[in-house]
Chains A and B, each alone.
Chain A
C-alpha cells in the first residue's frame, strides 16, 4: 500500500479509454494486460458469461457484431438498451461503460497493488445533466465509491499546464473521434482559468473518414464499382471500407501513401466487388482541408468572442488522435501561428489531467486504512493540491478536549510552523510553508498545556504545490423555465460545481388537494438561450394535487432550491412558504436515443418545423431562407433512408440517422436564431440606450466603467453574430440598468401605475383591488420599500400567456 495519497483519473472515451495515476510528484499511465495505455472502449459478451473488454473485444466487431458493443458513449443517458443475444439481456450505455471502467480499475490494481475506490472521470465539455449523471452511475457500477466528473478540455489544459511552464493565454485544440472542442485558457500566479469554450459537436476524426469514404466511393464509381451509401444492402461493405479507410488515414500520418484493399465484398446483386486503391497525403489534404478550415474558424470565433487574436497566444495544446495528422498540424500552424506545446501525448493528456484534478479535489483512491492510528483524533481540512505557497491547515478535535492544547506542523526537510493554541471550540488554523512544484509531507505535533508531547491522529498529511484549477465549471447554464417562456437562471455557464441556489417564485395556477390528476410543474432547463423552449428540458419538479394538504392558490410564493453535484446529479426542492410543505420529487429526463421509433418521431418533428418555416419564408418571399431550408430538407431525406434501415435492424444506420438528426436539429436552431437576430439586435440597441441613460443619470464611476466593458463585449458579440453571448451581455446590461434605475424616486410609483392599469386581468380581482388601495396609501406616504412589495404582489396576480406557457414546458411558476 502506498504511504502517500494516490489519485486516479480516467478518460472514458468514445473510441479508447485511458487511466492515469498521480502520487503528488509524478504522473503514471496505467498499462493494460496487452501493455498498452489505450484500451478500446469495446465490450464483448459470450454465452458462458465471460465479458471481454478492449483490443480483444474489438477484434470481434466483425465476427460477432451482435454481442460486441462499441461507441456506446454517444448514447449515454438516453435510455437506449443494447440487446446482447449471448446473455439474453439488454444493457444501457452506462452498464456497458461500467465494464470498461471495471477493466481499467483492474489494470490499476495489477500495476499498483490495490483496487482504487475513488476516481475522476472525464466527460465531453458539452455533456448535459442526464449524460453526466449516467457517467457517474457507470463509475459507481464499476466499484468506485467516490466519483467526480471533469470536462475533457479542462483536464487536458490542466495536464498541459502541469507539464509545461506556460504563462499567458493559450488554446487547447481537441479533435476527437466525433467532436471538436477548443478552450481558451489563461495561467496566472499558478492558477489556471478557463476563459471560454467553443466547439463543433459534429466535427471529428469520423468526418475525415467520411470525406475520404466519399472520395473513395467516387473513385470506385469511375472504375465501375458502384456502392450506394443509401442502400442498406451495401451496409456490410461500407462498414469494412470505413474501417479500412480509418486505418489508411492513420497510416498516412507516417507514410506518404496507403493502400486500401478488401476481399470478399459483394454488391447489391451479389457480385464480387474489386476494391483496391491507394490514398496519398495530397489527396487526403485536398479532400479534408475544409474540415480543418471549419475547426480554425471555431478557434477564431472563440478568440474574437474574448477580444483576443492568435498573436496573443503563447501556445496551442493538441489533443485527440486526429491531431497527429501532419497536414492538419501544418495547416493549423499556418492559419493560427502559435507554436504547439512540446512533448505532450495527445492520446493520454485527458487522463493525466483527470488524475491531477483528483489531487486538487482531494480524492485519494486508496482504500480506507483498516487499522486506526492511536492518539487524540483530529478532523483536518486543507487543500490537497494548491498553487499557494502558504496554504492553511485547519483542524478540530473530534471528541471533547482531553490533553491536546497546542499544535505545530513540521515539514520533512526541517521547516516548522509556529506552535498554535487550540481555541475554545478545540479548533486551530495554521499557515504552512510548502515547497514549490512538489509533494510536501507535513507531520503534526501536539502538546498539552505543560508542553508534553500528545499523540494525534492523523499524524501526517500531504500537500502538493502546483498549478490548479478551481471547482469544475458548469458547461451549460441551468435554470427554471417560467410560464412566460423566459428562463430564470440559477447557475450560469462556468459556475463552480457543486452549486446550490434558492430563488422565490409564484405559482400561476391553483393546486387543490385531489386525486393526483393535476400537477403543477417546475421545469428545469439547460441551455444558453433566454427562451425556455429553446433550451433542453433536463428535469421537472412537480407539485401533484394528491400530495398537497391545503389549497395552494395562484400567486402563492414558493422557494425553489436547485442543487447540482460534481457528478451531474440534479436535486430540486420546492418549499411552499405559506404552509411549509416541501416537494422534492424530480422527474429525471433522458436525452434522445436512437430507437427506430424515436428516430421516426424526431424526423416527423423536424419535418413539421421545416414546413412551418417554409410557409413563413414563402409568405415573406425570402429566397435565401427557402434555399437554406431546401438544403436541410435534403439532408432530412438522408436521415429518412437511414432510419428505414434502422427499422430493419441496422444499428450502424440508426447511429448515422441519430447523428444526422442531431445535426439537423442544431441547424434548425441556428436558422431559428438567425430569424430572431433582428429582434435580438433591436433588443440590444434598446438595452444600451436604456442602460446608458440610467447609468449616466444615476450611476457612479464604477458602474460607468462596468457599462463600458459590457458594451464592448456586447459589440464584439454583435459583430461576430453570436446570439448566445449577446444574450449574456444583455442580462448584464439589464442588471446595471436595474441597479441605477432603483435610485430614481419615481421608479416604483411608475411600475405600480403600470401594474394597476391591468387590474381587470388579475386572477383574484378583490385581492388586486385591495393591493392597489394599499399601494396608493404607500405612495402618498412616500413608503417606497412597501410600495415595491405591493407591486411584486400585483404582478403575481397578473396572468401568463397560455401560448408562452405551453412553449415553456407547461411551467406553473413565474
Chain B
C-alpha cells in the first residue's frame, strides 16, 4: 500500500482534540469532561465565543460533532497519545536531513529475534 493513501486516516492538526477543546496536553479526565460539556452547551445556544478555536495552522470552525469526537478521542489512551504528539509544536517543525530511511530494529520489535 502506498504510504500516501494512509493520509486518509491521518489525524489533521486542525482536528487535534487538545486544540478543539482548548486544553493543555497534561489535562486530566475530569478537565476533558468539563471543557467538553461547557463547549457543547455554548455551541448549543449559539455563543460566538465557542464557534472557533486556534491551531498552529490558524483558526478553525468548531462544531458539536468535533467536540464530541475530541472528548471520545481523549478518553481512549492510544488515541490520546497520538493526539499528544500532534499537539506539540515541534512535530510540525521541518527536518532537513535528506538521508534515506535505514533498516532498524524491526525484527526485534516484532519479537522474532528475542525468542
Residues of B59-107 contacting chain A, CB below 8 A = 65, 68-69, 71-72, 75-76, 78, 81-82, 84-85, 88, 90-91, 94-99, 101-106
Q: Are B95 and A396 in contact (CB under 8 A)?
A: no
Contact indicator A392/B102 (Cβ below 8 Å):
no
Chain A residue at smallest Cβ distance from B69: A496
Query: Closest CB-CB distance, A753 to chain B, in whole Å?
Result: 13
Would A495 and B72 count as touching, CB distance under 8 A?
yes
Determine how close the nearest CB of chain A comes to the CB of B36; give it in whole angstroms: 9
Q: How far is the CA of A382 from the CA of B34 in the complex (A)?
A: 11
Q: Which residues of B contact A713 (CB under 8 A)?
A: 78
> Which A-chain residue is minimally distant from B6 (CB atoms)?
A734
Interface of A is mostly: mixed
**B112 to chain A: closest residue by CB:** A685
Judging by beta carbons under 8 Å apart, are A694 and B101 in contact? yes
Does A89 reach chain B (CB closer than 8 Å)?
no
Find A689's partner among B40, B88, B98, B104 (CB 8 Å cutoff): B104
* Bound Cα distance A665, B91 (Å): 45
Contact indicator A735/B90 (Cβ below 8 Å): no
**Residues A189 and B81 in contact in the complex (CB < 8 Å), given A715-B111, A731-B6, A738-B7:** no
* B45 contacts A394, C-beta separation under 8 Å: yes
Contact of B91 (CB < 8 Å), options: A427, A702, A715, A745: A702
Q: Identify B41's interface contact among A382, A500, A715, CB under 8 A.
A: A382
B90: min CB distance to chain A, Å: 6
Contacts A693-B101, A734-B1 given: A388-B30 contact, CB under 8 Å?
A: yes
**Binary interface encoding of chain A residues 183-210 relative to chain B, with 1 for a CB under 8 A from any of its CBs, else 0:** 0000011110100000000000000000
Q: Which of A700, A706, A731 contacts B81 (CB 8 A)?
A: A706
Interfacial residues, chain B to chain A (CB-CB below 8 A): 1-11, 28-30, 33-34, 37-38, 40-42, 44-48, 65, 68-69, 71-72, 75-76, 78, 81-82, 84-85, 88, 90-91, 94-99, 101-106, 109-111
Task: Check A709/B45 contact, CB under 8 A, given A689-B103, A702-B91, A739-B10.
Answer: no
A640 lies within 8 A of chain B by Cβ: no
**B96 neighbours in A (Cβ, 8 Å):** 745
Q: Which residues of B contact A380 (CB under 8 A)?
A: 45
How far does the alpha carbon of A394 sit from the alpha carbon of B95 in the complex, in Å? Answer: 45
Beyond A394-B44, A743-B94, whether A429 also contacts B110 by CB under 8 A is: no
- A396 and B46 contacting across the interface, CB-CB below 8 Å: yes
Compute how far the CA of A734 lies from the CA of B6 in the bound complex, rounded to whole angstroms. Answer: 6
Q: Report if A706-B85 is in contact (Cβ < 8 Å); known contacts: A470-B71, A496-B72, A697-B102.
A: yes
Cross-chain contact A388 with B34 (CB below 8 angstroms): yes
- A667 interface residue, CB < 8 Å from B? no
Any B CB within 8 A of the CB of A239: no
Chain A: interface size category: 35 or more
B109: A residues at CB distance < 8 A: 688, 692, 711, 715
Chain A CB within 10 A, most for which of B28, B78, B96, B109:
B109
Report which of B11, B29, B41 forms a contact with A735, defined as CB distance below 8 A.
B11
CA distance A291 to B9 in the complex (A): 39
Using known A-B contacts A500-B65, A711-B109, determine if residue A386 contacts B37 with beta carbons closer than 8 Å: yes
Closest beta carbon of chain A to B34's beta carbon, Å: 5
Asked if B40 contacts A381 (CB within 8 A), the reply is yes
Complex partner residue of A737 from B6, B37, B104, CB under 8 angstroms: B6
Of the residues A379, A488, A732, A751, contact of B82 by C-beta under 8 Å:
A732
Using known A-B contacts A396-B47, A496-B69, A697-B101, determine if residue A738 contacts B37 with beta carbons closer than 8 Å. no
A283 interface residue, CB < 8 Å from B? no
Check if A188 sits within 8 Å of B29, measured CB to CB.
yes
Q: What separation, in Å, do the CA atoms of A394 and B48 have in the docked complex?
A: 13
A710 part of interface (Cβ distance < 8 Å): yes
